[in-house]
Structure 1
């Protein structure tokens, strides 16, 4: 029995696959020897037709059967895999290794961008081995990948599943990401994170994959064209908005196909181009700062002033408080401010304002300006070519039909109503209204005038009719806005 179960000890210098194969072969040999011995005993017991089995024979048969049971319970059929004469491990079936080869070839093909086939002579030899010594398929795949010279294992950086670059160590990629955050981080920053999916994985790549950290940083910080909105402010023109946002006029018009660029108004929302980094950074700063406390306003009635008018009687003294807050930024632009605590260090005193109660005359200026007529703008404010020469145009030319009513853009006093003479002859019949505070409006080329000098007019009151008097090529209203005697762009004031 001892010689059947005994398996010689392997030398430690032998490889694991070799030791496994030797052990399996020894067990198989022992099993076969037991079966042969059992056959000899059986033949001896039945020689000459005698079928009497002695107790010794019975014990021998039991021993052989026991050995077989032990071997089959301890060992499992397997195959030792060799590639180019090198034993790689054991598998339960050759198909297991073939599947591993297929997976490695498919992955290498995807990485390299061309069909890749592993070279090498593969052989299998049958053996018995312990189940725990079956080689994991991942070990085969790792070995096979290591044989591919055009593929290597790297740390790979991706953003939103887009490949950025790779490096031999993860610290190199982390350093690149920290460089992206660096411009937005200061001594008050308590958190900094990316808004996109940023991942670093350890995987096989082509050997010539991008490992240039400067190129990675440039890709992560490159600007992309986004879109945001802008609210038109007083004095804005379409050209001003375009220039302020790094756009051409045609680009701004393309983003706003439904907007008449010659008729924008205060408070109008227009689309503008916005530069957005490829990888955006959200930061939160924990800050403490001093903030002014506005003076509470107390109003007292004054019947010497018109309704809507006011006068400061006591400006008061603003207070002061220390504020602690968390401020959230996106690419350095504040998005949200969360006040955590405030501590008042100086109380504010009241600001006292006298407000008028006297009934307001209809002709008093409102401070807002309406269109005097509606029509097509045939000539804008600024320089233009007319009558064969390049000259400055001090207003808007609004073309409409002959006799259309022209209305006062705002309330005020008529300071001129008549036909232009001298240097003003080109205006033909025109009206000028003084709105106070240095603001005047002018309406020229009228066919007829409906008000006289000295009249008080209210906003929207008919003051003239459209015509083509003076230096004019067709029926229209020439409309000007003057501030302290200087013509300004009417589009910045018209509502």
Structure 2
């Protein structure tokens, strides 16, 4: 019923149509009445005096009358002229046909307007004879009746996944809104752009006061909703930093990761973070041509003067170059996949030569990764804190655990201090410092006892001290600190 044609009969005007239909009925009726009367008289004459006498002339006359009647009943069919407030709308085989059309219109209007709607008007029916092919289609009645409802109008309607967005008398207005959304993701290389949702423009009846503001529609379609995606923790990350990088507060990040201790995160850990998702997403494909570097093939050369795991570049080589043609798919401007169509090498890469050590590593050599010296609750994190009534900078982690718990070397290296703190380090009590090379040192403070001496070589995981509460301490714990070139850094960024 969304696409209904108007009554062609209305071109004549209601009064002219009514008069024409009634004239047809009266003409056909008069013909039938005249024929019937003549037939009766002929029959009476033929049977006068009690005898049935039918002459050839009488027979032919009777046949003519019956022929007229047959012609009338063959050409015309009984019908009803429907009038609404004195205006002829058309003809139906029975009043029920029009009543059912009226019911459908009222039901549809009720659905559109959101309240019970009843069409008012004076409806009348008058008998007529009409050619069957000229009976009025019911769709024409429904279109006319809808046009009489002031609170309903025909509009172009925009929906997304079945949700109403807005309407307009002009289809181009809705198309322009959709094109504006796509335009944000289209450039000179774009070969296709489409919406990922079901977007439809239909022509249908709506309430007259429905939203037709293009700016409001655009705001709705470009609004964002919060989704959830994941992030892999990298070296140097902190919980606070991850929250800030994803435009989140610390409490929002904690809410998305209820099972994660924000004070203890590790490299490779997967965290849930917030992601803004547009109400209407756009998928585009760009056809691009670009120059790409070709990595140098690596050739390894053994060197018995270096330890296993060590390496040295002997010849860096020269990267190659190639021209790539590809189709790149994006979702809301973020690359999703890249299909390489062709490559053309314009410069070959030369070999990169690396010397690799073959000498057996001593156990105390640093690995470059760092393990937890002890496990326990972090009672004080890296950074500024309030302690003993004052606000101060805390250079490491305080890990609380039982008295006498073994403290292990976070990585292999050389012990450069093992003793009781003095001077600026008096508050550390008994502590150990291990040098791991490349400017990296780790500190283990407030120990109850020390198990290594200055100058010792220690391997990763080797016992070096026991937990205590010496120096400036309020309970048994290990103060663990990482310094790079003399500057303290957050240990959580390095611990595995």
Normalising by structure 2, what TM-score?
Answer: 0.95
Secondary structure of the equivalent of 2:20?
Answer: helix
**Cα contact 1:319–1:347 (8 A) shared by 2:** yes
Q: CA deviation at 1:19?
A: 3.3
Residues 102-142 of structure 1, C-alpha deviation per residue, up to 9 Å, x if partnerless?
12112222222222211110011111222221111111111
Cα distance in 2 between the residues matched to 1:196 and 1:430: 63
Cα distance in 2 between the residues matched to 1:236 and 1:92: 82
Cα distance in 2 between the residues matched to 1:179 and 1:203: 24
In the other structure, the counterpart of 1:198 is 199
Cα distance in 1 between the residues matched to 2:444 and 2:291: 51
Cα distance in 2 between the residues matched to 1:67 and 1:135: 26
Residues 211-267 of structure 1, C-alpha deviation per residue, up to 9 Å, x if partnerless?
111111111111111111111111111111111111111111111111111111111
Q: CA deviation at 1:339?
A: 0.4
In the other structure, the counterpart of 1:353 is 354
Cα distance in 2 between the residues matched to 1:236 and 1:441: 19
1:110-149 alignment, distance < 5 Å: 110-149=111-150
1:21-170 alignment, distance < 5 Å: 21-170=22-171
The answer to whether residue 424 in structure 2 is matched with residue 417 in structure 1 is: no
Residues 126-161 of structure 1, C-alpha deviation per residue, up to 9 Å, x if partnerless?
112222211111111111111111221111111111
Q: CA deviation at 1:20?
A: 4.0
Q: CA deviation at 1:26?
A: 2.6
Secondary structure of the equivalent of 1:171?
Answer: helix
In the other structure, the counterpart of 1:213 is 214
Residues 244, 12 of structure 1: alpha-carbon distance in 2 compared, 3 angstrom cutoff: closer
**Cα contact 1:252–1:272 (8 A) shared by 2:** yes
Unaligned ranges ≥5, structure 2: 1-10
Q: CA deviation at 1:49?
A: 1.3
Cα distance in 2 between the residues matched to 1:470 and 1:368: 29
In the other structure, the counterpart of 1:4 is none
In the other structure, the counterpart of 2:300 is 299
Q: Which deviates more from structure 2 when the two are superposed, residues 101-110 or residues 268-277?
A: 101-110
Q: Give the RMSD, CA atoms, in angstroms.
A: 1.6
In the other structure, the counterpart of 1:493 is 494
1:231-380 alignment, distance < 5 Å: 231-380=232-381
Cα distance in 1 between the residues matched to 2:30 and 2:282: 69
Residues 332-384 of structure 1, C-alpha deviation per residue, up to 9 Å, x if partnerless?
11111100011111111111111111111111111111111111111111111
Residues 275, 51 of structure 1: alpha-carbon distance in 2 compared, 3 angstrom cutoff: same
Q: CA deviation at 1:38?
A: 2.1
Cα distance in 2 between the residues matched to 1:65 and 1:450: 132
Cα distance in 2 between the residues matched to 1:112 and 1:327: 46
Secondary structure of the equivalent of 1:184?
Answer: coil
Cα distance in 2 between the residues matched to 1:374 and 1:64: 117
In the other structure, the counterpart of 2:3 is none
Cα distance in 1 between the residues matched to 2:346 and 2:140: 70
Normalising by structure 1, what TM-score?
Answer: 0.95
Residues 21, 411 of structure 1: alpha-carbon distance in 2 compared, 3 angstrom cutoff: farther
Q: CA deviation at 1:206?
A: 1.7
Q: CA deviation at 1:208?
A: 1.8
**Cα contact 1:286–1:325 (8 A) shared by 2:** yes
**Cα contact 1:481–1:488 (8 A) shared by 2:** yes
Q: CA deviation at 1:77?
A: 2.2
Secondary structure of the equivalent of 2:209?
Answer: coil
Residues 271, 21 of structure 1: alpha-carbon distance in 2 compared, 3 angstrom cutoff: farther
Secondary structure of the equivalent of 2:184?
Answer: helix
**Cα contact 1:24–1:75 (8 A) shared by 2:** no
Cα distance in 2 between the residues matched to 1:270 and 1:12: 75
Q: Which deviates more from structure 2 when the two are superposed, residues 339-348 or residues 55-64?
A: 55-64
Query: How many residues were matched structurally?
Result: 485
Secondary structure of the equivalent of 2:28?
Answer: helix
Secondary structure of the equivalent of 2:299?
Answer: strand
In the other structure, the counterpart of 1:479 is 480
Cα distance in 1 between the residues matched to 2:23 and 2:162: 48
Secondary structure of the equivalent of 1:362?
Answer: coil
Residues 456, 80 of structure 1: alpha-carbon distance in 2 compared, 3 angstrom cutoff: same
**Cα contact 1:320–1:344 (8 A) shared by 2:** yes
Q: Which deviates more from structure 2 when the two are superposed, residues 330-339 or residues 135-144?
A: 135-144
Cα distance in 2 between the residues matched to 1:28 and 1:460: 116
Q: CA deviation at 1:12?
A: 7.3
Cα distance in 2 between the residues matched to 1:290 and 1:375: 52
Q: Which deviates more from structure 2 when the two are superposed, residues 207-216 or residues 374-383?
A: 207-216
Residues 453, 25 of structure 1: alpha-carbon distance in 2 compared, 3 angstrom cutoff: farther
